[in-house]
Chain A
Amino acid sequence: MTDATQGAETEAEEGKTIYDELPDAPPKKKLKLSWTGKIGVALVAFWIIMVIVGPWVAPFHEADIIADDSYLGPGYVTEGEGTHWLGTDYLERDILSRILWGARMTVGISFIATLLAYAMGVTAGIAAAVKRGWYDMILSRINDAILSLPTIMLGLLIVVAFGSSIPILIGTAAVIYASSVFRIARAFGQEIMVMDYVEAAQARGETIWWIIFREVLPNAVMPLATDFGLRLVFVVLFISSLSFLGLGIQPPAADWGSMVRQNLEGLQYGSLAPVWPALAIASFTIAINLIVDDVSAKSGGDLAKKMIS
């Protein structure tokens, strides 16, 4: 064997001329962010840091009723306490502090809920694509049933039935969004299943778990990661909507969505109190979309089309 392989090596050396093979294909390009993408990354990084350190950075406690009056303008200084950089809300609390505390609720809960939705949706979706047949049939019909219900109505129903607590909120958001993740994961899975390398693995006699986790999933990671960003935005908006309706995060805990609702009447007095948390939601969701756009552009434009489903 050694003789034979060495023979092959020398023959290869001799037979090689500059015309034999064209140069190697260039190595894959690394993901390079555009300037909008960089802004996105900076903003998302900022909010993630706030999730961790927000309560310590914030000048006041979220529940402290310390100001002189409600709906004070930005920059008002309360004697002996400090400056309210973004003013105060309807209960004489500092808005900046509440936004920084609220990041933990809004961003943190959304992140955990999206992760859970992905764990459920991707596993079930790719398994459906790989196993096909009755398994796919049952999972897809259950999924269709969940998808056919309006998300907010379903959310309201669950929260009303089980009471509003953070675990219930996370679970509700995860189940609702797992159904759309399932559909995308199944679609990508089906596309990958027809590739020859998957057939080669099946012909080799590999188990279904090998095919799911070694052949199919690695090829779906990039598009699914892009979708993760979008889905996270939907969950932020969902939790904010629930809070806006009064069924999400319960007072006095700060949450961006409920902050908008509670301060809405401030607009009548010319206060910017509901605008600041709305801007916080916008900055986080837009920042994520900026990143998603960049990643999506790098991994093929048709990705965006698939995700609008």
Chain B
Amino acid sequence: MSELFEIDNLQIQARKEDGTPIPIVKGVSFKVKAGQVVALIGESGSGKSTISLATMAYCRPGLEFPGGEVRLHGKDVLSMEPQDQRNLRGNNVAYLAQSAAATFNPAITIGEQVTEAAVLHGVLTQDEADKRAVALYHALELPEPARLGRRYPHQVSGGQLQRLMAAMALVSGPDLLVLDEPTTALDVTTQIEVLKAFKKVIREEGSAAIYVTHDLAVVAQVADHIVVLYSGEIQEQGPVDLIINNPTHPYTKRLMAAVKPTPKAGMGEDLDQQHSRVVPNIEVKNMTAGYGGIVNGKPAITVLRDINVKIKNSHVVGVIGESGCGKSTLARVIAGLLPAAKGEIFLDGKQLQADLKNRMSEELQKVQFVYQMADTALNPRQLIGEILGRPIEFYRGIKGAARREEVAALLRLVELPVEFESRYPSELSGGQKQRVNLARALAANPEVVLCDEVTSALDSIVSSNIIILLKKLRDKTGVSFVFISHDLSTVGSFADEIVVLYAGRVVEQGPVDEVLAPPYHPYTRLLISSVPELRVGWLEDTMQKREMAVGIARGVEITDSGCPFFNRCPIAIDGTCDVDTAPIREPSPEHYIACHRTIEEIAEIEAAPQQVLHGFEVAAPEGDKAAKPH
């Protein structure tokens, strides 16, 4: 019996301008059996996406296949006629790209897009395809399967769109499903929902899959077999248990080390508070902000509501929440990039103007903002020396040779070679650019640095290096950091205090060890249990828990009154939580939880986490009203 799918000594190369070949993939071989999920794991640039595209006999322009075979059912697809390759792509191999939002056409209904490829290739008639699509929506646990096809892509959530991509790929019943980083761009809670659905549908359909990712913890949940890649070569491959529990290759070990630990109290290091001042560095009081015109202190679209946050001197405050909860907006308001509609911001006890245009130069200097994407944050036509030198000259009046020395010192501070000052940003790698991005903020000699998701766009290893750097910078410079992230374990290992945002409101805040230890706010609890663990079977275990079942099944609903978490909360009180604003409770000094339940009640529930309360069903897909019609 031949394998379903086999890659045999595959080579892919690019060419230099003078025609000398540059190998991209250097002789990779692995097999996929029917019903098996094989994970390709590695950093960006390791060739994993290139290999996954080769499964469809496709390579990006400029690349070529000098050797090797890609066999499906024993037939080499690379040497097929273009027409046969086209049929192969529609019928036998389905490819699932990373970003669902970019894959769907916003002007065409979901049903039409999901069935299009199967009908176009003549595999199914429109009727058959529609029926099969509805069955797949059921299998993928999407809401209202019968009517979902008539909706438009913007009417469903990101996680649902990602699952719809799977439906699109599976409609024609492919032999092999290729998933290219399908959950990388998602929040943890959404990621679980998507992983669970993928796993279920792959098992039910019995199709084989290649799962491409850089996250070992995710791989541990879905894959049977792991192939570890580095710079176009296989470093190690084997069954998932073996690789996870007993990695032999040093690169696999490094990948393991970069897996985020489960967030828990005491994961960060203690910080000596010796240079603490009495005045809090930044204090935000009763701040409301949003977009659109402001009428009576209320913006057209309110993103943040009644926020009270303090950032102490040389503290790291982590701001955490799912995408859309307003965490970036909070940083932009503090920086003055988005003027607040209501409320005050104090810097060292002095009130700051809401709009940065009205702020004094030294106030601007003290608060620096670090953008998420270093690619757009650094001017591509300026040398690194100019990018770093300008704030030094602008704020501190240092010029000429002294300025060059300062730039060199900054580059050393962020652990980059001094020669980089005469390079352009395009000549740096992603992690190096992010270091320059940080260095620019530090060049101003600030008191507070606002970091907006600075590690989100980076690979696990590169981003853990950036975190190590940030910790060193905090210790060396004594500046305060506001660290915005959707990644609780990164925040937990780095921050002194955590602010948990949900739908524009602070639901819990306090010292990191208090927030990451019981009693939790129900939303914090959900976030903590959603972080994948590097353990086979974790996904199944987690989905057994009641708070996950309820919390995962439903989406965020932004409300004007009551507690925003009401519809996903396993311990919500009907008639209270959806009507009244939650009171703020203080279980210990400076630790605040906004919840109608008393601390005692929360603690009791934590003690018996499997107990079902208030008649909530454990799994309630029928009662799923998550996808709200807009």
Q: Is B462 an interface residue (CB 8 A)?
A: yes
Query: CB-CB contacts of B437-450 with A at 8 A, as 1s and 0s?
Result: 00010001000000
Question: Are B461 and A1 touching (Cβ within 8 A)?
Answer: no
B17 in the interface (beta carbon within 8 A): yes
Beta-carbon contact of A199 and B379 below 8 Å: no
A21 contacts partner chain B, Cβ-Cβ < 8 Å: yes
A-B contact count (CB 8 A): 95
What's the minimum C-beta distance from B334 to chain A, rounded to whole angstroms? 12
The minimal Cβ–Cβ distance linking A102 to chain B, given in whole angstroms, is 39
Interface stretch of the complex, out of A5-13, A74-82, A122-130, A283-291: A5-13
Residues of B within 8 A of A203 (CB): 335-337, 356, 364, 369
Is the pair B391, A204 in contact by a Cβ cutoff of 8 Å?
yes
Chain B interface residue bracket vs A: 35 or more
Is A28 in contact with B461, judged by CB distance below 8 angstroms? no
Contacts known (A1-B409, A8-B412, A218-B381); A21 close to B429, Cβ less than 8 A: yes
> Are B409 and A5 interface neighbours, CB within 8 A?
yes
A223 to chain B, nearest CB (A): 12
Give A203 to B378 CA distance when docked, in angstroms: 14
| Contact in complex: B427, A196 (CB < 8 Å) | no
Chain A 212-254: CB-based contact to B (< 8 A → 1; otherwise 0): 0011001101000000000000000000000000000000000
Contact A4 B364 (CB under 8 A): no
Give the docked Cα–Cα distance between A32 and B379 (Å): 24
Please indicate the chain A residues that have their CB under 8 angstroms from the CB of B380 in the complex.
219
As a 0/1 sequence over residues 402 to 433 of chain B, the CB contacts with chain A under 8 angstroms (1 = contact) are 00000001001101000000001011110110
B231 / chain A contacts, CB cutoff of 8 Å: 22
Do A8 and B462 have beta carbons less than 8 Å apart? no
A9 touches B427 (CB 8 A): no
Bound CA–CA A32/B364 (angstroms): 44
Q: Which of B254, B415, B444 contacts A19 (CB 8 A)?
A: B254
Q: Which of B361, B379, B426 contacts A205 (CB 8 A)?
A: B361
* B-chain residues with CB within 8 Å of residue A32 when the two chains form the complex: 17
B16 to chain A, nearest CB (A): 10
Task: Name the contact of B412 in the complex, choosing from A5, A22, A202, A206 (C-beta under 8 A).
Answer: A5
**Chain A residues with CB below 8 A from B254, complex form:** 17, 19
Contact with B along A1-42 (1 / 0, CB 8 A): 100110011011001010111111101110010000000000
Chain B residues positioned under 8 Å from A20 (CB to CB): 461-462, 465
B394 within 8 A of A: yes
For A22, give the chain B residue with the smallest CB separation. B45
When distances are taken between beta carbons in the complex, the residues of chain B under 8 Å from A219 are 379-381
Cα(A204)–Cα(B444), bound, Å: 9
Confirm or deny: B483 has a beta carbon within 8 angstroms of a beta carbon on chain A: no
Alpha-carbon separation in the docked complex, A29 to B462 (Å) = 26
Check if B58 is an interface residue, CB within 8 A of chain A: no
In the complex, per-residue mask of A181-203: 1 if CB is within 8 Å of any chain B CB, else 0: 00000000000000111011011
Q: How far is the CA of A15 from the CA of B462 in the complex (A)?
A: 12
Q: In whole angstroms, how far apart are the Cα atoms of A21 and B468 in the complex?
A: 14
Interface hits, B376-392 → A, CB 8 Å: 376-382, 390-391
CA distance A212 to B185 in the complex (A): 35
Query: Shortest distance in angstroms between B306's beta carbon and chain A's nearest beta carbon?
Result: 26
For chain A, the bracket of interface size reads: 35 or more
- Residues on the B chain within 8 Å of A11, using CB: 415, 472
Give the shortest distance, in Å, between A227 (CB) and chain B (any CB): 18
Chain B 318-335 interface residues, beta-carbon cutoff 8 Å to A:
335
- Residue B371 is within 8 A (CB to CB) of chain A in the complex: yes
Least CB distance, A20 to chain B, in whole angstroms = 6
Residue B520 at the chain A interface, CB threshold 8 Å: no
Bound Cα distance from A164 to B231, whole angstroms? 68
- With an 8 A cutoff between CB atoms, is B373 at the interface? yes
Check: B125 CB closer than 8 A to any chain A CB: no
Indicate if B487 sits at the interface (CB-CB under 8 A). Answer: no
For the complex, is B65 an interface residue (Cβ under 8 Å from A)? Answer: no
Q: Complex formed: what's the CA distance from A199 to B429 in Å?
A: 23
B89 shortest CB reach to chain A, Å: 25
Within the assembled complex, what's the spacing in Å between the Cα atoms of A309 and B376? 27
Q: Which residues of B in the span 335-378 have a Cβ within 8 Å of any Cβ on A?
A: 335-337, 356, 361, 364, 369, 371, 373, 376-378
Q: A32-B17, A203-B356 are in contact. Are A25 and B412 (CB under 8 A)?
A: no
With both beta carbons as reference points, the residue of chain A lying nearest to B22 in the complex is identified as A26
In the docked arrangement, what's the CA distance between A25 and B376, Å?
16
Alpha-carbon distance A206/B387, docked complex (angstroms): 13
Which of A17, A21, A195, A205 is B394 in contact with, Cβ under 8 Å?
A205
Partner of B44, one of A9, A17, A22, A195: A22
Contacts of A8 in B (CB 8 A): 412-413, 415, 472, 476
Shortest Cβ gap from B484 to chain A (Å): 15
Q: Tell me if B230 and A200 are in contact (CB < 8 A).
A: no
Q: Which residues of B contact A197 (CB under 8 A)?
A: 376-379
- Which B residues between 286 and 316 are near A, CB-CB below 8 angstroms? none
In chain B, what residue has the closest Cβ to A17?
A: B254
Taken together as a complex, chains A and B put the C-alpha atoms of A20 and B464 apart, in Å, by 10
CA distance A2 to B293 in the complex (A): 51
Chain B: CB-nearest residue to A203: B356
Q: Which residues of A contact B373 (CB under 8 A)?
A: 196
With CB as the reference atom, state the residue of chain A lying closest to B387. Answer: A197
Q: Smallest distance from the beta carbon of B229 to chain A beta carbons, Å?
A: 12
- B43 on the A face (CB < 8 A): yes
Q: Within 8 Å CB of A195, what residues of B?
A: 376, 379
Q: How far is the CA of A202 from the CA of B43 in the complex (A)?
A: 35
Q: Which of B17, B251, B369, B461 contacts A200 (CB 8 A)?
A: B369
Assess the B394–A204 pair: CB atoms within 8 A: yes
Contacts A/B (CB < 8 Å), 7 sampled:
A15-B468, A24-B429, A25-B427, A28-B424, A204-B391, A204-B394, A215-B379
**Residues on A close to B: CB < 8 A?**
1, 4-5, 8-9, 11-12, 15, 17, 19-25, 27-29, 32, 195-197, 199-200, 202-206, 214-215, 218-219, 221
Known interface pairs A4-B413, A195-B379, A206-B394; 7 further A-B residue pairs with C-beta atoms within 8 A, sorted by A's residue number: A20-B465, A21-B431, A24-B432, A25-B428, A27-B427, A200-B369, A200-B440
What are the 5 A-B residue pairs with the smallest beta carbon separation, nearest first? A218-B381, A12-B415, A196-B377, A197-B379, A196-B371
